């Protein structure tokens, strides 16, 4: 049996959370291991920012637990010792689904380190089952390699993703598009998938949607745009914008589209950094927004203004996105929401 057959569905990210889960960075798996201390400082800032809104569970390697405990003393942060290879719990952690009675369960997707890019990944592939055992939740094992950052749902039957990622031959080469779509619909229980073509330029995840576009509410999508025809993201974002403008959701609604201007082009050690304001994270009553400073100061300000207008009742809490991006990802990539279930 799959979640859809048992009437479980994936709540929207803005639905109430019981807590947020993250994983602590591992130097040996970092894209830029020399930045380990700076990255850890950025993670500590991020964890404490989230803890201003809701409890946090931080997955740590067992040997790191005692060293990290004093950093979060006085904050609603618990440390959970689970061996792991990398820090991106959005992608290797479980996706929590819920039924109408508020009973929760978890999806254990297959994980292969973004198409085999980082080895080893055996510990990361075992994290979701360990988390679900800790939470005491029923587990559904999906016959599909999928990262949480590659999907976003509206909570009313519609899912956003990219063909570049979900149909990439380095994930599920034995499956057809129709089979992949059926598995996704069965495990998160959606009726319609809106397929963008590509994610942002330079994104080594092969185009995760959580850098490109996300739902702000049912019927409303936020997209990061580029106005410079010389930038690779211009063609990418213009195409995705056209797809969204021509799409309807599972309820038949045309989409209201909110645009956020991308940060300026930024390189680090000769490679483009995939800077995205869309990699923000919903918390209870707020949004954790990565900002990048320097040449991005103006677009930082504009992104915060757009989100505050879009979510007037939320507190926009900014964090240093540059510290986390040098681990290879961004704010949303590090997080996994645990929706609030039935209260006993």
Tell whether the model's pLDDT for residue 344 goes beyond 50: no
Residues with a catalytic annotation lie at 333
Ranges of each domain in the chain: 17-333
- For the stretch 147-200, pLDDT in tens is 999 999 999 999 999 999 999 999 999 999 999 999 999 999 999 999 999 999
Tell whether the model's pLDDT for residue 229 goes beyond 80: yes
Stretch (H or E) spanning 180 = helix 177-188
Which CATH number does 17-333 carry? 3.75.10.10
Q: Strand pairing partners for 12?
A: none
pLDDT, greater one: 323 or 90:
90
Give the DSSP letter string of 20-71.
EEEE---GGG-SSGGGHHHHHHHHHHHHHHHHTTS-EEEEE-GGGHHHHGGG
> How distant, in Å, are the alpha carbons of 95, 219, 235 from that of 87?
16, 32, 31
- For the stretch 97-128, pLDDT in tens is 999 999 999 999 999 999 999 889 999 999 99
Of the CA atoms within 13 Å of residue 109, those in its CB half-sphere come to 30
Coil, strand or helix: which one is 335?
A: strand
- For the stretch 46-77, pLDDT in tens is 999 999 999 999 999 999 999 999 999 999 99
Torsion of CA 226, 232, 236, 239, to 10 degrees: 80
């Amino acid at each position: 049996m799959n979640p859809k057959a048992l009437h479980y569905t994936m709540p929207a990210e803005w639905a109430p959370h019981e807590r947020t889960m993250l994983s602590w960075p591992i130097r040996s798996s970092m894209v830029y291991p020399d930045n380990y201390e700076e990255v850890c400082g950025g993670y500590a800032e991020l964890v404490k920012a989230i803890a201003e809104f809701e409890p946090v569970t931080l997955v740590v390697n067992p040997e790191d637990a005692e060293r990290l405990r004093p950093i979060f003393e006085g904050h609603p942060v618990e440390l959970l010792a689970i061996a792991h290879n990398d820090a991106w719990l959005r992608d290797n952690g479980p996706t929590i689904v819920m039924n109408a009675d508020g009973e929760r369960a978890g999806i254990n997707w297959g994980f292969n380190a973004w198409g085999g890019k980082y080895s080893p990944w055996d510990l990361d592939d075992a994290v979701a089952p360990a988390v679900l055992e800790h939470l005491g939740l029923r587990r559904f094992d999906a016959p599909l390699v999928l990262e949480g950052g590659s999907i976003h749902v509206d909570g009313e039957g519609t899912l956003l993703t990219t063909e570049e990622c979900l149909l990439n031959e380095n994930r599920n080469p034995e499956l057809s598009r129709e089979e992949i779509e059926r598995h996704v619909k069965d495990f998160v229980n959606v009726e319609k998938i809106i397929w963008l073509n590509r994610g942002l330029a330079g994104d080594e995840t092969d185009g995760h949607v959580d850098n490109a576009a996300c739902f702000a509410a049912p019927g409303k999508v936020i997209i990061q745009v580029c106005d410079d025809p010389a930038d690779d993201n211009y063609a990418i974002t213009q195409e995705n914008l056209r797809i969204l403008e021509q799409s309807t959701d599972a309820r038949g609604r045309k989409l209201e589209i909110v645009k956020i201007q991308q940060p300026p082009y930024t390189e680090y050690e000769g490679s483009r950094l995939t800077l995205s304001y869309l990699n923000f994270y919903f918390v209870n009553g707020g949004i954790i927004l990565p900002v990048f400073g320097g040449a991005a100061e103006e677009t930082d300000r504009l992104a915060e203004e757009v989100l505050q207008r879009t979510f007037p009742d939320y507190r926009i809490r900014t964090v240093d996105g540059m510290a986390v991006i040098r681990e290879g990802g961004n704010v949303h990539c590090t997080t996994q929401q645990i929706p609030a279930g039935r209260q006993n």
